[in-house]
A and B are shown apart, each in its own frame.
Chain A
Amino acid sequence: MSLDVQNLSFAYEQRVVLQNVSFTAPTGQFTVILGRNGSGKSTILKLLAGVLPFHSGRVQAHGQDLRRLSGSARASLLGYLPQFHRTVFPFAVQDVVLTGRAAFVLSTPGPRDRKLAQEAMEELDLLPLAERPYSELSGGERQIVLMARILAQRPRIILLDEPVSHLDLAHQQRLMRLLKRLTQEGTTVISVLHDPNAALLYGDHFVFLKEGRVIEPGGHPWSPTFMEEVYGVRTLAVPFGGGNLVIPEPAGGCHV
């Protein structure tokens, strides 16, 4: 299911964060949103996820206006992984995963909800942690648990805010491969990523943000010129696959 963003604008009180942002995230593809801190990346995801209300612009999933959807319709459409999360209550991991079913549960979850939560934990190798208190996990493990929560929710579009920034290399690879596989099975993934190299490795489609606006690469997106425009630093380009791996230039230049 594709997601169509048209002329989305947003301001926190007086501070304008997004101005007329438009892009399309194609069905079954991995769309990556890139840009510097404060460029509005997380805000876009929060608007798409319905965590923040928006007043200007339109977001359509397969032709349906997101703002018109009920809670459960939205939940079967969209899953959202927030940037950073902790809780004071030491809920068991399996209970946190089960909350992914919230929109489909009247009072308490039934056998089907428990089965879906179980499958999601299996998928992410979380079964050994099922009884562990969520609040005692590392940031990376918590991220995986919240990912399992999304899988239990079974949405057709998944929104992720910096999903790998707290993860070690092994967890990073596992999560990114899972997302890649989900896109191959038809799920649409939209993720904010800090690392342009991870974007190059796993992404299909890229949206670059600068100061709340979408900027288009004139030529090659991973070229040092465009990377400098996006991130404001000089980079070195190492040819890799269909693009370049990007290395920030060390102090005093670099002699390769």
Chain B
Amino acid sequence: MKRLSPGLFAALAIPVVLASLFVGPSDLVQARHIAQALTHPFSLPGDETLAMAREILLQVRLPRVLLAFLVGGALTTSGLSLQALVRNPLVSPDILGLSSGAACGAALALALPGIPLQPASFLGGLLAAGASYLLALNRRGLSILSLVLSGIIVGGVCTAILTLIQVWVDPFKLQTIVHWTMGNLHLASWEKLRSAAPLILLGLAGLYFMRWRMNVLALGDEETRAVGLNPEREKLFVLLPATLVASASVAVAGIIGLVGLAVPHMVRMAVGPDNTRAVPASFLAGGIFLVLVDDLARAITTFELPVGIFTTLIGGPFFIYLLKRSGAAFGE
């Protein structure tokens, strides 16, 4: 099978990010503005249109594109790593009840006064994933089947609490909660990027370090022990950064469906199953994917549609098309 190099995604990433700076409801921003802003980022322009364009470019579009890239890359890398961990390609970061937990935390913060939104949702995601993990532990270690089951249960409980909050709150808050859960890259800012980026980059570094060990782990517990590694420890070392990365992403951008499930598949189809290649390619491909989908979300309508709707509407059919075309992508 012909394999693409992860370097191809790296080469694609820069033009995609640059081109995305042109996309948006305002037609003030032109190529010369971007060139000017890039070449002289700190000098103040004299002309008013230029100043406005510059403001849109640097304060609205650039943080948004960067956040979309970071979140897309983070969700995809987290999904790929968890798929290697549970040895099942049908898994996404949601498997640990993480998204529901994060949504639950966010809803609490939006419904009650005095709770900061982003930390609450981050903690909600971490707590849900932690609970799923602890429930799945038994005397013989971490059972993958139990992990999937406990993730479903924890996710279900969180969704129930979320619904309960939605029933109780006033309609205005209800709308905010619903919008939050659909993904909200349109609220991107440098501040949001600054708060999420360190956690996401830290987790990504951990996953990058573990990328070859994911190959070992994907072969099975017995096979991992047979070559002298402790599978429980290795699983935890993948699970921790994967959870960190996904929780921080959901906390800053809301629930963006399908990215963590579908993009890892596309990446494996492109670069092959070896995780030493697939992990860096996942970050780049996921970033490119979400930036492009967000471009569409901005370009199609004059008002903002939550990006989570688009990732599912566009990603879903495309994913099914790829699976059908490639046929037996996974052994059977």
Contact = CB atoms under 8 A, between A and B. Distances in A.
A103 B229 contact: yes
A191 to B, nearest CB: 15
B227 to A, nearest CB: 4
B215 A149 contact: no
A129 B15 CA distance: 38
Contacts of A95: 215, 273-274
Interface string B197-231: 00000000000011111011011101111111110
Contact of A49 (B210, B226, B268): B226
Interface stretch (A23-31, A70-78, A119-127, A204-212): A70-78
Residues of B in contact with A, size category: 20 to 34
Given A88-B89, A102-B228, A107 B222 contact: no
B176 interface: no
Contact of B228 (A75, A81, A87): A75
B87 interface: yes
B273 A89 contact: yes
B274 A51 contact: no
Interface string A87-110: 111111001101111110101110
A88 B225 contact: no
B220 to A, nearest CB: 7
A109 B212 contact: yes
A139 to B, nearest CB: 13
Interface residues of A, number: 39
A85 interface: yes
A14 to B, nearest CB: 15
Given A87-B87, A88-B330, A92-B274, A99 B219 contact: yes
A102 B229 contact: yes
Contacts of A88: 87-89, 330-331
6 A-B pairs with the lowest CB-CB distances in the bound complex, closest first: A75-B228, A103-B228, A135-B331, A80-B226, A71-B228, A102-B227
Interface of A: 46, 49-51, 71-72, 74-76, 79-82, 85-92, 95-96, 98-103, 105, 107-109, 133, 135-136, 146, 149, 153
Given A71-B230, A81-B226, A149-B227, 20 more contacts: A49-B225, A71-B228, A75-B227, A76-B228, A82-B222, A82-B226, A87-B87, A87-B220, A88-B88, A89-B89, A91-B274, A92-B272, A92-B274, A99-B215, A103-B229, A105-B212, A107-B209, A108-B276, A135-B330, A136-B331
19 contacts: A51-B225, A71-B229, A80-B226, A85-B220, A88-B331, A89-B84, A89-B89, A89-B331, A91-B274, A92-B272, A95-B215, A95-B274, A96-B219, A99-B215, A99-B219, A100-B227, A105-B212, A107-B209, A108-B276
